[in-house]
Chain A
């Protein structure tokens, strides 16, 4: 009757979203009066036992290089066998890139009810009801999971990470590992930058900046804050910024702790990608810009005057001369 958490790795490193999933799974196990175990596939470089800090007691590892890259079909079969071996009744994923590929497959394979994009722990007072994000951040649905085995895919950045002092037992697990049919031939990572999908702080700018040559102050702010940079679609379409920075309905949906929007009007399609951010700051010279309605803090002013002053204040705060 345990809770089984999927630990996601990339190039041998555990993703931050998995630490959230582990904490969530451990708290869920406590709520259900059972224990939390985890599974990790592929070769791992990080210290797995240290993941006990997030409350998990035992980690099953399938240490097989054939699993280093995601093939959802192969992963699903392996995880399904782990579910059977551990007798897990709830399986927890992060609703990140891997989770979106594997969790639904596992749901179909086990005929297990699944919630995609959970934002909190289930309400178990009457059944098993989980709140999820719907309408691109504009509403929530309370979804009842009506099967014996349940799958929860947790929205990234919607749950805290605990740091206790537990140490997890790491044990090898033997499951079927099919030869992958999806063969990865190249990996192109944007190096040296904070990846937008995982960033806690994001500095974003729009057409109000007039041209690509004015992004220096945006990059400086991002650098000072260790933030990722993002942009509106208008900016990506104009070729001022790379497409992977485009957030919104048609770009990336993000939920950082802080989203600073500079010279962006706040069109509804833009908001759809950022409205789950915890704190939104808007800098726009137009007091009527719709973004102010979605903002927590704002300055009505010219970005070219405000941003350099903010950068100076951030430097002072961080003790940078």
Chain B
């Protein structure tokens, strides 16, 4: 069994969001970079759990990013990936990134491609579906559980107001979210081992981006909270009804 886990680098969840260069670039000053939480906690850890059940499983990691993505990919190796591939390209266009991942996947011949449900910076929820289409694989998105029985995967996915259980034969692409696994902390042995695990750098294939970011903007500041006395909660109800008109 070969699993490809797509790993992206995002600003830490508490990072201050600001832009430079006339609001065309994210300001990275003082920002701590992390593995996108969905990629780490759910996609990668579930892959590791599958390997713990079946030791013949190989977990390959792929990231599309510049050299500054390497600490992130090393951390993912420390958690439990076997080897990593970095496609040496810096792009924010989902189709461009997906095309690079699909190329890596074609070379490797994987039974499973795991992505996170979305990146917490770009919030595309797109790359998994694009990769699946480029590889002509079935795609199960927003998965909360994943079990394997031979070549049949039983996957639970979110639907509006509930969940759905489905079955699909490998190979398949899956986007992973809460429920798939529990977050882990890399241990010392993992960190040591990660130093010598292979991290291959490949050059991107030529693909045209389909989109470009014109500018970023911050939402308008809130006017400030209107406080109501705790002695008159009925006044809050009146405001919500008459002023905000939401109830």
Contact = CB atoms under 8 A, between A and B. Distances in A.
Contact of A105 (B37, B132, B223): B132
B240 A184 contact: no
A73 B227 CA distance: 51
Nearest to A96: B160
Interface in A269-321: 269, 272, 278-279, 281-282, 292-302, 305-307, 309-310, 312-314, 316-317
Interface in B71-100: 94-95, 98
A100 B234 contact: no
Given A134-B122, A146-B210, A317-B247, A309 B216 contact: no
B33 interface: no
A316 B235 CA distance: 12
Contact-size category for A: 35 or more
A143 B212 CA distance: 6
Contact-size category for B: 35 or more
Interface string B162-175: 11111111000000
Contact of B247 (A102, A138, A146, A225): A225
Contact of A181 (B19, B95, B138, B163): B138
B130 A107 contact: yes
B107 interface: no
Contacts of A196: 161
B233 A100 contact: no
B176 interface: no
Contacts of A310: 233-234, 236-237
Interface string B99-143: 000000000000000000000111111111111111011111110
Given A144-B214, A296-B226, A133 B129 contact: no
Interface in B206-230: 209-219, 222-223, 225-230
Given A95-B125, A182-B138, A295-B225, A129 B214 contact: yes
Given A145-B210, A309-B234, A105 B139 contact: yes
B160 A198 contact: yes
A69 B164 contact: yes
Given A299-B233, A305-B230, A310-B237, A185 B212 contact: no
Given A135-B123, A281-B240, A140 B129 contact: no
B39 to A, nearest CB: 13
Contacts of A145: 210-211
Given A103-B126, A298-B226, A188 B162 contact: yes
A108 B129 contact: yes
A113 interface: yes
A137 B165 CA distance: 30
Given A142-B217, A298-B225, A105 B133 contact: yes
A181 B168 contact: yes
Contact of B217 (A97, A105, A140): A140
A234 interface: no
Given A142-B213, A309-B233, 15 more contacts: A73-B133, A97-B142, A100-B141, A104-B125, A108-B131, A144-B212, A183-B166, A196-B161, A201-B246, A250-B41, A258-B244, A292-B225, A297-B226, A298-B227, A306-B233
Interface of A: 10, 15, 69, 71-73, 76, 95-97, 100-109, 111-117, 129, 131-147, 181-190, 193, 195-198, 201, 225, 243, 246, 249-251, 257-258, 268-269, 272, 278-279, 281-282, 292-302, 305-307, 309-310, 312-314, 316-317
